[in-house]
Amino acid sequence: MTNFNFPLATNTWGEEELEAIQRVIRSDRYSMGPEVLEFERRFSNFFGVKHAVMSNSGSSANLLSLFAMKYWSKTRDSSARDVIVPALSWSTTFYPVVQAGYRLKIVDINPSTLNLDVEQVLKAVDKNTAGIVAVNMLGNPADLVELREIADSNELFLIEDNCEALGAKLDGKFTGTFGDLGTFSSFYSHHISTMEGGITVTNSEELEQVARSLRAHGWSRELPEKNYISDKTGDQFEDSFTFLLPGFNLRPLEMEGAIGKEQIPRIPRIIEGRRSNAETYKKICANYDWLAPQAENGESSWFSFYFRLVGSAEGRRPELMAKLADAGIETRPVMAGNITRQPVIKHLSHVVSGSLAATDAVHDQAFLIGNHAHNLDDAFGAIDEVLQKFEENL
C-alpha cells in the first residue's frame, strides 16, 4: 500500500473566494440577489452570449432548459414528443427530458469521441422528434455544427448539456453556445466551483425570461414590465406575487454568486492547466496498445481522463481498478454508463434507436481518472507505473 493520494477532484479557490464568502456574511443577504445577478452578467460576457441564468446546480440548469421548451413560443404548440439523447451521459441529462413530458429517444455514441453519433442521430429523426440534447462528454465538444444543422433543417430544438465542458471550444467558439440553450455546472468537481451551482445560457431573450421565471416559482417578479410571458400591471404589490408558469425553486445562494465572480477570471488558467495535463495523458496512453483513450474533437477542456481496455486487456477492468486503488489513485465509472442498463430506466419513458454497441463497450470496459488545473507529474508517474506493472501480466 502507498500513502500517495490522487483524488478525482480538487478545488480552485484562493483567498479571493474566502473573502467573497465573508463579504456576503457581512451583507446579511444570503438568498439570491445582486451577487448572483453580477455573476450572471460576467459569465455571459465571458462566454459571448446575451443571457445567463444561474441556478442551484447543473442538474437544475438542465431541468430549466427542458421545461423552457414547454413554454417557448417556437416549441410549445408542437405535438412532437421525442428528444434524441446519447446513451452515455450523467443521469440528469435524461431525467429532465421525461420530467418535462418528453420521451427519450436513445442513440449510440461515436466510440472515439464518446459523443452523439451524428449518423445515428440522422437515422433517429422522424416526425415525432421534438429536439436533441447534445452532451459534450468529459469536456470534449460534440459535432455541434452538424447537430445544429440537423436541428435547424428539421425544426428541432437543440440543447447543449455542457456541464462537463466549460471552456471547451469548437471552431473557435465556446461549447454551450451552439444550442438554443446551453447548460454549465459549477459543482465542486467541475472546472470552476461555487460549491453547488449551475448556469443556463441563451441568446434568446424569450428563453431567458422563461428560464428566469421557472427558476423562482414561475412568478413575474424578475421579469421586465414588458415581457414575452405576461406583461406586468404596474402595481408592484401585485406584480411581485403574480405566478405565470408552473415553476420550481431552483435559486442559487448569494455566496455562490460571489464565489463565481472570483472564479471567472481563473478560467483561462484552469483550462490551460487541464489541457497541458492532457498532453501528458496522451503520451502515456500511446505506450499501451491495450488502452483506447478519448479522441479529442476541437479543443476539449478535459474534465477527466478516459481509459477503455481493448484487446488483451478486455474483461480485466476490476483487476486494474484494484491496482490503481492500491496506488492511491481514485477512479470512477464513465458517468452512468449505458443508461438503458441502469435500473432507473424502467421509470423513464424511452425508446432505443439502433444498436448501443459503442456505449456498451464503455459501460463494460472503461473508467475515468481525474484531471485538475495544476501540474500532475507525480500522479502521471504513479499511473504509468501501475499501467506498466499491469501490462507485465497481460
* pLDDT, tens only, 165-211: 999 999 999 999 999 999 999 999 999 999 999 999 999 999 999 99
Mean of pLDDT values over 250-261:
98
* pLDDT, tens only, 337-388: 999 999 999 999 999 999 999 999 999 999 999 999 999 999 999 999 999 9
In this structure, the dihedral spanned by the alpha carbons of residues 195, 7, 298 and 84, taken in order and rounded to 10 degrees, is: -70
* pLDDT, tens only, 93-151: 999 999 999 999 999 999 999 999 999 999 999 999 999 999 999 999 999 999 999 99
Torsion angles phi and psi, residue 110, rounded to 5: -70, 125
Catalytic residue among 51, 190, 217, 350: 190
Do residues 186 and 199 lie in contact, with contact meaning Cβ atoms separated by under 8 Å? Answer: yes
Burial class (CB in 10 A: 0-12, 13-18, 19+), 28: exposed
Which residues lie closer than 8 Å to 274 by C-beta, 6 or more apart?
139, 167, 191, 301, 302, 303, 371, 372, 373
Distance CA 45, CA 394 (A): 51
DSSP string, 104-128: EEEE-B-TTT-SB-HHHHHHH--TT
> Tell me, what's the pLDDT at 2?
57
* Position 1 pLDDT exceeds 50: no
Q: Please state, rounded to an integer, the average pLDDT across all residues of the chain.
A: 97
Domains and CATH numbers, the chain: 15-265 (3.40.640.10), 267-391 (3.90.1150.10)
Distance CA 63, CA 215 (A): 9
pTM of the model: 0.97
Is 190 assigned a catalytic role? yes
Mean of pLDDT values over 67-84:
98
Mean of pLDDT values over 52-79:
98
Do residues 394 and 338 lie in contact, with contact meaning Cβ atoms separated by under 8 Å? Answer: no
Q: Who wins on pLDDT, 68 or 8? A: 68
Mean of pLDDT values over 18-42:
97
Point out the least confidently predicted range of 4-13, 35-44, 205-214: 4-13
* pLDDT, tens only, 288-337: 999 999 999 999 999 999 999 999 999 999 999 999 999 999 999 999 99
> Tell me, what's the pLDDT at 4?
84
Distance CA 372, CA 375 (A): 8
